[in-house]
Amino acid sequence: MTTVRREAFGRMPPEEGGGEVEKFVLQSDSVRVEILSFGCIITTLETKDRDGQFSDVVLGFDTLEGYTRKHPFFGAAIGRVANRIANGRFTLDGKEYQLFLNNGPNSLHGGAKGFDKVLWSPQVLPNGVRFFRLSPDGEEGYPGDLKVWVTYTLSGRELAINYQAQTSKTTPISLTNHSYFNLAGQGSRDVYDHEISIEADSYLPVDDTKIPTGEVAAVQGTGFDLRQPVELGKHLQKFHLDGFDHNFCLHQGQDRRLVARVFHPPTGRTMEVHTTQPGIQFYTGNNLDGSLKGKGAATYPKHSAFCLETQNWPDAVNKPHFPNVLLHPGEKYNHTTWLVFNTA
């Protein structure tokens, strides 16, 4: 049985239109989630440890002001295209499109004002909430009027995030959620004691601006082989890695499949990621530097959280051999990711 509650969370600044931001609280007997109508942001996600104690396991802020200022996409819906597009450029039907460059020479996570920085229209469901927005033709340089629905539903230990979209012109689209997790509880120092596994036989090597080189490399015999669980801190040391910020290539198919699992031995918390998406970006919070004041005055240093962003492969619009990232008029974009929380 899931209960859904809505309440006021704040108002947008006048220069942003001053609209009201609501918070939706989804609660089952084992999980409690709070989600904003601004950016579809997951602000709180509480799960039980093996002793039945709840802790909030996602990074974020106590107030709307934290989210309207610059921050690393904590908890937000990302679009039109998650991850990086090389030089912010692509060509469709002979026409070149130029996007805003917000990540060195590249466009990242939808540009200057992506889906994470706008108000969505909410609709309460029996066990969740659905958000809608129309991304107009030309927004952030992307073609086509894009109708987008992001739906969060909570059932027992499982949080489902469904993304649907329709377009008036062919456009690239890749939607994800950018929650930062620490299963010890948000505000904990690092995630080195977490054990992680990712069901991927290959990954995408990147250049020094984090754009895939085009190679699809086998994980076998490398630090990217996470098919068996590894303890993160020891694994980074063993392979002299500064952290992960890489796309892992998942087995293709439209069916739900288990793609990643994280276990935190001290608390017993586990998180499974199931998805229909072709890729998952594993990011270990390498750019967190302790400068942001988060919830309860916590600071978030480097490696104090991890992200498992289910999505299409980065820069797929410029790499014909990557999974198709284009949505055509008359088609429906439809992907779901499930986060399942348990204790072991």
Give the catalytic positions in this structure. 178, 309
C-alpha–C-alpha distance, residues 239 and 224, integer Å: 9
Would you list the DSSP string of 278-335? SEEEEE--TT--S-SB-GGG-B--TTS-BEEEEESPTTGGG-TTSPP-EE-TT--EEE
* 179 known ligand binder: yes
Read off the amino acid at residue 97: Y
What CA–CA distances, in Å, run from 213 to 184, 204, 247, 308? 35, 7, 12, 21
* 321 known ligand binder: no
Please name the residue that has the structure tokens 């980074």: 236
CB of 214 closer than 8 Å to CB of 314: no
- Please report the sign of the dihedral spanned by the C-alpha atoms of residue 122, residue 125, residue 129, residue 131: negative
* 49 known ligand binder: no
CB of 296 closer than 8 Å to CB of 191: no
CB of 120 closer than 8 Å to CB of 131: yes
* 178 known ligand binder: yes
Phi, psi torsion values for 161, nearest 5 degrees:
-120, 115
C-alpha–C-alpha distance, residues 328 and 169, integer Å: 6
Read off the amino acid at residue 280: I
C-alpha–C-alpha distance, residues 8 and 16, integer Å: 17
- Encoding tokens for residue 11? 């108002």
CB of 266 closer than 8 Å to CB of 274: no
53 C-beta neighbours (distance < 10 Å), count: 11
C-alpha–C-alpha distance, residues 57 and 48, integer Å: 10
Please name the residue that has the structure tokens 């490696």: 303
C-alpha–C-alpha distance, residues 118 and 73, integer Å: 12
* 245 known ligand binder: yes
Annotated binding site: 83-84, 178-180, 245
Annotated binding site for beta-D-galactose: 83-84, 178-180, 245
